[in-house]
Amino acid sequence: MSNPRTVRAVIALAALAGAIAGYFLIVPDTGIQMSLLSRLLVTSTGVKGVAATPTYDAPLPTASSPFTAVSTAYEKNPASTGSYARNWFGPTASGASIDLSVDLLPTRSVALTTLSEAGIQDLEAVALQVSEHTVRLRYVVPGGAAVLYVTPRQAPKTGAPVPGAAADYSFGRAVVRITITGAIATKDSLDALAAKELAVIRRVEPTFPSLLTTSYSALETVIYWIVAVFLIVSIALIPDWVRRGRSRRAAHELLRQRRQFQVRGSKALKRHRVKI
């Protein structure tokens, strides 16, 4: 017969292995975490005239991106595709604002396609004319292009045209779009912000992780292992419980037989005495 201790050890190890496998199947919560994209953007612009902290700081709806390359990439590879934006605003009277966004794509080629689409929307002459912008200067920035313009819409209080500046560029799998409006929309401010953001992209993008993350709830983990330990101990003790149950039944049967023997013996003795 097998050693009871060996049997208990084998059963306990098998139950433990099953519990570990079950933990990684039941407890983990896996999903797309778009907030990781915030690492690709500067946290402050360094431009005077807007608030130090962004008013808007959140992922953009990637599935409904205005760029076909982005939405298509998201459908095929959501763990490597996403969009994020930060917006800073100045005092209402100034009309100053900075819009900064980044699109992360699965490959460099898709990023370049996205950059081309962004350029058509943000920098091309036709798009600027539709928005009633008058171009003052076009020039090249590292990885892309920039434009300075004015719009005839009346600025608050001053009545002067509103200056604007925009830049689109790409590095690696990332595409950056910058738009500055108001008196702060100068070439110097645009170039400084573009260079600052490019430094962040160059540092973060090459080692940027997948957007697919796995988290483990502390509460669910504790509950799972309390139940698992109880079941493991119970399963490991089953052979003992079975053996003890058999022993109790055997002892009960022996005691029953003895009592029956004693009863029969007593009856036989009484019959014998009656005959005498």
Per-residue pLDDT tens over the stretch 76-100: 999 999 999 999 999 888 889 999 9
Confidence at 1, pLDDT banded by 50, 70, 90: very low
pLDDT of residue 81: 94
Residue 142 token pair: 């590292």
State mean pLDDT over 11-31. Answer: 78
**CATH number, domain 31-214:** 3.40.1000
CA distance 102 to 169: 10
Average pLDDT, the chain: 84
pLDDT of residue 102: 96
CA distance 175 to 36: 16
Residue 115 token pair: 């950059």
CA distance 270 to 254: 24
